[in-house]
Amino acid sequence: MIRAVKGMRDLLPPQTAVWNRVERVAREVFQAYNYHEIRTPIVEETQLFARGVGAETDIVTKEMYTFADRDESSLTLRPENTASVIRAYIEHRLDQRPGVQKLYYIGPMFRRERPQKGRYRQFYQIGAEAIGSESPAIDAEVIEMVVEIFERLGVRDYQLLINSVGDHTCRPLFIEKLREELKSVAHTMCGDCQRRAVTNPLRVLDCKVPQDQPIIDALPSIQDSLCEVCRPHFEAVKQMLTDRGIPFTVQPRLVRGLDYYMRTTFEVVHGNLGAQNSVLGGGRYDGLAEELGSKVAAPGIGFSIGEDRLVMTIEDSQPDAARTELDLFVVPMGEAALRHSGVVARELRREGRSVEVLTEGKLKRGMEIANKVGARYVMILGEDEMNAGQYSLKNMQTGEQIRVSRAELLQALSTGAGSRN
């Protein structure tokens, strides 16, 4: 038997109903904030991620699916989508369009990580990018949009963490201070931190190894090193969130895992997910476009939701989230009734009702299936019903039966109206 590749999985009904709901709500929120969908290729030139994400990040050094094409060019399955969106922004000169460019995406990403709960090698992200403004008002609006998605989905008990990681002026000074502090303690930390202490000290703050946390907590805080531009920018973001009644916690160690972040960074965590408790991450990346070859400054901020983890959160907290409801299950008795059922089913489906027609099997089998699929109503259709022009509907929750004409059928499915037997 051929099985799915390790770390990748099939998404099956009824679980896919939750995925569809999450994506529908996200699209509704994006529309309310005037965001428009962008779809980028799954495969990009490897250099895009090496330059954009950071050559020393775990994503680039350990996790990317990279391969040589037939022309020997190096290609990579996208491990994230911000770099791709900025590449498209530059390539298609979206800076020539008026106003801030607000773009969103929904789709699969690929990283060769160790599979565990909430983490897969093919995973899905819902993300958004606002490109063309460095105003703290945009930061606050993007974070507000994140909260709105979670609220509309009914997700509770999550925590919004925010931080500022400085800019090209103050961050290098902080990194040097961090490097000096790490010289005396890095040897006691995990192997990754020992390497990062030399190549990219800021990444040490992103370490998740429990034994390293007391050491990390004692390291300098970037909040004490913000410059005269970054500090008021971050204060403005916090004030705007407070104005809107959005609770948050300042987390000075929050740096995220990608090199392009600067100034505002944020994360949403949820306790139900255990060790992999981050559902969403984002931040500002004002220098990324220039790093990828843009001749025009394109400051931006964005986020990506880990859709796999968000779906898990909803399933854990909302037991009926995956339930899909079938309006009507039709059990025809005979060939003529089967043909008639097809016509009636088409009429109802065109009016937005979900209908299933039993094409094989007898009455008992039909009722068993109707129960298992959770049909709201069952209609048994035979020669007598067709001759009389009256259909018998059974409410599968109450057991009550009503008789309706063909003209009354649609309304009956909505209200249960009709003459009682």
51/178 Cα distance (integer angstroms) = 23
Mean pLDDT of 229-240: 95
Assess whether the region 15-170+226-317 and the region 326-420 belong to the same CATH fold: no
pLDDT at 100 over 50: yes
pLDDT tens-digit readout, 370-389: 888 888 899 888 888 888 88
User: What is the pLDDT confidence band of residue 322, given thresholds at 50, 70 and 90?
Assistant: low
pLDDT tens-digit readout, 120-152: 899 999 999 999 999 999 999 999 999 999 999
pLDDT at position 383: 83
pLDDT at position 258: 64
Which of the listed ranges 21-25, 167-171, 218-222, 401-405 does the model predict with the highest average pLDDT?
A: 21-25
Homologous superfamily (CATH) of 15-170+226-317 is: Bira Bifunctional Protein; Domain 2 (3.30.930.10)
pLDDT at position 273: 53
Secondary element (H or E) of residue 51? helix 46-52
pLDDT at position 297: 86
Listed residue (309, 376, 370) closest to 348, CA to CA: 376
pLDDT at 417 over 60: no
Listed residue (216, 217, 215, 238) closest to 226, CA to CA: 238
pLDDT at 35 over 90: yes
Mean pLDDT of 239-254: 93
pLDDT tens-digit readout, 55-89: 666 677 778 889 998 999 999 999 999 999 999 99
The full set of domain ranges for the chain reads 15-170+226-317, 326-420
145/187 Cα distance (integer angstroms) = 42
What share of the chain has pLDDT > 90, as a percent?
Answer: 43
What distances in angstroms separate CA 109 from CA 33, 149, 234, 288, 332, one per listed residue?
Answer: 25, 21, 30, 20, 46
pLDDT at 158 over 80: yes
User: What is the pLDDT confidence band of residue 219, given thresholds at 50, 70 and 90?
Assistant: confident
Residues 6+ apart with CB under 8 A from 7: 112, 113, 115, 120, 121, 122
**pTM, rounded to two decimals:** 0.85
pLDDT at 419 over 50: no
Taking residue 10's Cβ as centre, other Cβ atoms within 10 Å add up to 8
Mean pLDDT of 105-134: 90
Region of 352 (left: φ > 0; alpha: ψ -120 to 50; beta: rest) is: left
134/298 Cα distance (integer angstroms) = 9
Mean pLDDT of 187-209: 83
pLDDT tens-digit readout, 265-306: 999 998 755 555 789 999 999 888 888 888 888 999 999 999
Mean pLDDT of 246-256: 87
Region of 237 (left: φ > 0; alpha: ψ -120 to 50; beta: rest) is: alpha
Mean pLDDT of 332-359: 90
Domain 326-420 CATH (choose: 3.20.20.80, 3.40.50.970, 3.30.70.260, 3.40.50.800):
3.40.50.800
